Structure 1
């Protein structure tokens, strides 16, 4: 049985995006001198500068394609899905750690799949239920393992992690639906998101960083700029391509790769191998994604 070409390309873009996004959970752990909001502002200032430089050569053409609805969507997507989301992620990582944060956020595929179950061309929910249950079981198992016997720290950290889960789930759904309506290319949409996000970060730079400039050293600048380039510019471009090629429910499932990538980087940072429970949980996640991919493949090939 062969895979539909657009489906295969979309899955490839989604996997690439997830691998790039794994670093967003590690970045705040590398800069404990910065708060989650400070890290987010610095990252998105860099994202805005990178995006502006890449977009300038095509600005006139891109501007002619934009509608008022596009600009309004870019504003909300940039505010909620990038700035607020990542401020919550950074705060959660510094309070409850990389593993717990990435695993809570790892429930995004379930929420996105539920949101996309009524879209045109979507696989019937009953057919998706086993794969969703499998992926959710993996996330639940590894979440319980990560929290067992550990000091959870402030409950604020967990609330931030769940806040990040909700904000990015909303972003994934809203961004995919806006991409289906706009005439702007997926790559240029990612750059426009970067420019708008950078402008919002610039508004926050003085009140957020003004009294804490001493904590913004070269190390912090390099880490935030690196995360901006890999996760925001490159990962964002991959994700927008995937969003245009994949059904919403399937694009949500591919996001499990982000969780696996974050866990891998977390294990490397902690200089250890995953134990048996962690391996079982990750296998459940992968099986859930593979099951979902097969469901979509059969659905596409069914007359």
Structure 2
């Protein structure tokens, strides 16, 4: 999951613009939700192999798309901007997905998607020092609701799965922290680079991510490699599909939504990733959500609504 926010947002968008922006953000959430199913589709492969495969494919696709404007874009990048791309690509892509794939394989889709559901509030809190952020005291109800939701998730995980679920929960929290830091820092860098569009910045991030994924190849080769031809074919299909649908198409939809929706509203739209991920997870596991999962989801949604209200007049 790697979205980019445009540094400027119109708060007085037309109704069609708002409708299309919301539709695009919902579609992006539907695309990003597929990320949580990918480790289940290729369970015989290690998270580091899934991460390397996905981002190598993402880097290749991004390189093809950005090639026509490569010279123009690179002429605008300073050394600090390149270092920022390196760090952001690692934090928001490589590290995030390794954590997420481990969390899904160890703790399940539902638990991981619920923890990632804290992203809207986490990003808001991390960016609370921004000039347009709501006062911290007005965010306390949202924080309390979100922490209560996380408590339900932790209780469900620890009471049903033992050490494996505990490790999965910790990996999910690691994914949450890494993407929260990425989202805030990426937004700041977009504000510093007004001459580079959000689409081009996303494609540059993809190219750098693909280069960084080469560093994962030795670790991938060190993992068990005794797979059948059919398993390798499934692996190739999964990582390529995730790269195209989630990283390219999902990011493009999110960038469009970021241009036509207010930033406070755009951030809250991340909740649709959680909703779709949970839906896909329950379909995959062929079950209904438990009472504790329903309570966690209700608390997380209430936290998002409370956070949105705190920003409504800003």
TM-score per shorter chain, which class? 0.7 to 0.9
Quote the residue 1:102 is aligned against.
113
Contact 1:10–1:246 (Cα < 8 Å) also in 2: no
**How far apart, in 2, do the equivalents of 1:272 and 1:61 lie?**
51
Contact 2:115–2:172 (Cα < 8 Å) also in 1: yes
The Cα shift of 1:210 comes to: 6.3
The Cα shift of 1:14 comes to: 4.2
Quote the residue 1:140 is aligned against.
151
Q: Which has the higher mean CA deviation after the structures are superposed, 89-98 or 122-131?
A: 122-131
The Cα shift of 1:121 comes to: 1.5
The Cα shift of 1:214 comes to: 4.4
Runs of 4+ in 1 over 6 A off after TM superposition: none
Classify the secondary structure of the residue corresponding to 2:161. coil
1:65-144 correspondence runs (5 A): 65-144=76-155
Q: Find 1:262's aligned residue among 277, 281, 298.
A: 277
- 2:202 is aligned with 1:186: no
Residue 219 to residue 164, structure 1, CA distance change in 2 (3 Å): same
Q: Find 1:5's aligned residue among 10, 13, 17.
A: 13
- 2:304 is aligned with 1:289: yes
Quote the residue 1:198 is aligned against.
210
- 2:8 is aligned with 1:27: no
Contact 1:186–1:237 (Cα < 8 Å) also in 2: no
The Cα shift of 1:239 comes to: 3.8
Residue 20 to residue 103, structure 1, CA distance change in 2 (3 Å): same
Contact 1:4–1:297 (Cα < 8 Å) also in 2: no
1:41-60 correspondence runs (5 A): 41-60=52-71
Residue 133 to residue 5, structure 1, CA distance change in 2 (3 Å): farther
Q: Which has the higher mean CA deviation after the structures are superposed, 14-23 or 249-258?
A: 249-258
Classify the secondary structure of the residue corresponding to 1:5. coil
Classify the secondary structure of the residue corresponding to 2:313. helix
The answer for unaligned runs of 5 or more in structure 2 is 1-10
**How far apart, in 1, do the equivalents of 2:171 and 2:157 lie?**
17
Contact 2:114–2:296 (Cα < 8 Å) also in 1: no
Contact 1:109–1:256 (Cα < 8 Å) also in 2: yes
Q: Which has the higher mean CA deviation after the structures are superposed, 69-78 or 153-162?
A: 153-162
Contact 1:102–1:262 (Cα < 8 Å) also in 2: yes
Contact 1:43–1:224 (Cα < 8 Å) also in 2: yes
Q: Please report the RMSD computed on the Cα atoms of aligned residues, expressed in angstroms.
A: 2.7
The Cα shift of 1:146 comes to: 4.9
Contact 1:31–1:220 (Cα < 8 Å) also in 2: yes
After TM superposition, the score normalised by the length of structure 1 is: 0.86
Quote the residue 2:221 is aligned against.
209
The Cα shift of 1:184 comes to: 1.0
Residue 263 to residue 151, structure 1, CA distance change in 2 (3 Å): same
**How far apart, in 2, do the equivalents of 1:213 and 1:58 lie?**
38
Quote the residue 2:183 is aligned against.
172
The answer for unaligned runs of 5 or more in structure 1 is none
**How far apart, in 2, do the equivalents of 1:293 and 1:156 lie?**
32
Residue 204 to residue 189, structure 1, CA distance change in 2 (3 Å): same
After TM superposition, the score normalised by the length of structure 2 is: 0.83
